[in-house]
């Protein structure tokens, strides 16, 4: 293992959704990257298809001891940047942050999603983040995933000049041409069937669209599965809705490249990487305004943003999409080209490197997805 690195990432676990960025930084930009993870991939994540996470040439250390963390910090004080995943990180990661700030270092950055602001628990989370975010002077860049995250951390006193838009960036699908699409336009929902993901609102919206206008495939499982099956029967949608218990990630990517629209109606989603996957495949999206990935939807090219919990708004967005669906090869190609320029791992890697190597006290730069629409 190398003794010094350009970038050191401190994470709670290896991430399927951050692996493309690591590969772009190493194989694409030639940077020396170390990833330190507090723990291994959980059984729940493995059940969701997180097998075989590939960080490319990046070095990976999992479950380091306290002494190993201290040594990794001391050996890499000269790294261009240390980048921590989350403000409220795991104890080992906090130990690394504390050790780093006690001595010499160059650039410290944090990548963070917003916290879930719903209900009393949301208020308590805000208090926790306010307490842990008092020492913003140690942080040179806060990579905030989505509009909500930028607003939340600015409200806690993080200087606007330090906040940089960020997200999760995925590779293009292995296949972008799945042949001609026939029959009715197809919608996909991909995610756990939980209240937070709010898939029942999508079913209610589908009932408000003209009969025989769409087919919907719901990929995922969860506690709402039975009640959703009942909803489909009650609304007489059995011929329009199919359920898939589980699908491997590569199969999901192929399915997204073949469908006409992805819908993510979540009440709250820190990001929602499936939106990134759809856009990279050239498939437009309908996404709720409480998903971090709605940051990628800034024009009709990418899709529509709706308020969560509003089946009528989703139905209206579906109706608008009917006018141009199925998605034409030309429209899909235009969207893919935009995605490759603006939200690909390579674009994100170049943006991250430019941001962490800027001069002190220089404000962060516009993100590529905000410049290229």
pLDDT at 1 over 80: no
Backbone angles phi, psi at 37, to 5 degrees: -115, 135
Is the distance from CB of 174 to CB of 197 less than 8 angstroms? no
User: Cα(110)–Cα(11) distance, rounded to whole angstroms?
Assistant: 10
Q: How far apart are CA 255 and CA 250, in angstroms?
A: 9
Q: Which residue segments constitute the domains of the chain, with CATH numbers given? A: 7-169+344-371 (3.40.50.2000), 186-339 (3.40.50.2000)
Burial 265-281 (b: 16+ CB within 10 A, else e): bbbbbbbbbbbbbbbbb
How far from the centroid of its chain's Cα atoms is residue 192's Cα? Answer: 15
The predicted structure's pLDDT at residue 86: 82
pLDDT per residue as tens digits for the range 311-347: 999 999 998 887 765 688 899 999 999 999 999 999 9
Query: What's the average model confidence in pLDDT over 146-166?
Result: 93
| Average of per-residue pLDDT values in the chain | 90
Structural tokens at position 316:
């209206």
DSSP states along 162-188:
GEEEE----PPPS-S------SS-EEE
Least reliable range by pLDDT among 86-95, 224-233, 251-260, 332-341: 86-95
CA distance 276 to 174: 15
What's the pLDDT at 372? Answer: 56
User: What is the bridge-based pairing of β-strands 33-37 and 81-85?
Assistant: unpaired
Return the structure tokens found at 107. Answer: 């650039």
Q: How far apart are CA 164 and CA 370, in angstroms?
A: 12
Using 50, 70 and 90 to split pLDDT, how confident is the model at 125? confident
Gap between the Cα atoms of 265 and 267, Å rounded: 7
Q: CA-CA distance, 36 to 24, in Å (whole number)? A: 18
Phi, psi dihedral angles at 239 (to 5 degrees): -80, -5
pLDDT tens, position by position, 176-210: 655 555 567 899 999 999 999 999 999 999 999 98
Structure tokens at 141: 């860049």
pLDDT at 135 over 70: no
- β-pairing, 81-85 vs 108-112, is parallel
């Amino acid at each position: 293992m190398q003794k010094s690195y350009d970038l050191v990432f401190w994470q709670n676990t290896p991430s399927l959704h951050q692996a493309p960025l690591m590969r772009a930084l190493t194989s694409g930009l030639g940077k020396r990257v170390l990833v330190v993870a507090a723990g291994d991939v959980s059984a729940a994540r493995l059940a969701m298809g997180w097998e075989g996470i590939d960080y490319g040439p990046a070095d990976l250390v999992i479950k380091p001891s306290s002494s190993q963390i201290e040594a990794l910090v001391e050996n890499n004080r000269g790294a261009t940047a240390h980048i921590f995943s989350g403000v409220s990180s795991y104890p080992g990661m906090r130990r690394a942050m504390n050790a780093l700030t006690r001595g010499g270092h160059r650039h410290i950055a944090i990548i963070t999603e917003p916290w879930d602001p719903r209900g009393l628990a949301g208020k308590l989370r805000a208090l926790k983040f306010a307490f842990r975010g008092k020492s913003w002077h140690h942080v040179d860049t806060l990579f905030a995933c989505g509009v909500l995250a930028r607003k939340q951390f600015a409200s806690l006193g993080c200087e606007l000049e330090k906040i940089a838009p960020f997200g999760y960036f995925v590779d293009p699908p292995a296949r972008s041409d799945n042949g001609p699409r026939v029959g009715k336009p197809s919608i996909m929902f991909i995610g756990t069937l939980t209240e937070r993901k709010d898939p029942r609102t999508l079913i209610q919206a589908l009932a408000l669209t003209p009969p025989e206008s769409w087919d919907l495939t719901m990929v995922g499982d969860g506690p709402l599965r039975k009640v959703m099956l009942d909803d489909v029967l009650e609304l007489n949608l059995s011929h329009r809705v199919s359920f898939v218990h589980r699908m491997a990630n590569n199969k999901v990517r192929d399915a997204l490249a073949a469908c006409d629209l992805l819908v993510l109606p979540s009440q709250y989603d820190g990001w929602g990487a499936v939106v990134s996957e759809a856009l990279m495949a050239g498939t437009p999206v309908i996404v709720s305004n409480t998903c971090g990935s709605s940051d990628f939807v800034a024009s009709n090219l990418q899709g529509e943003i709706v308020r969560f919990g509003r089946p009528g708004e989703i139905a209206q967005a579906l109706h608008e999409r009917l006018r141009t669906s199925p998605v034409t090869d030309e429209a899909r190609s235009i969207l893919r080209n935009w995605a490759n320029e603006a939200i690909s791992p390579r674009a994100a890697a170049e943006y991250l490197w430019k941001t962490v190597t800027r001069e002190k006290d220089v404000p962060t730069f516009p993100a590529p997805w905000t410049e290229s629409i």
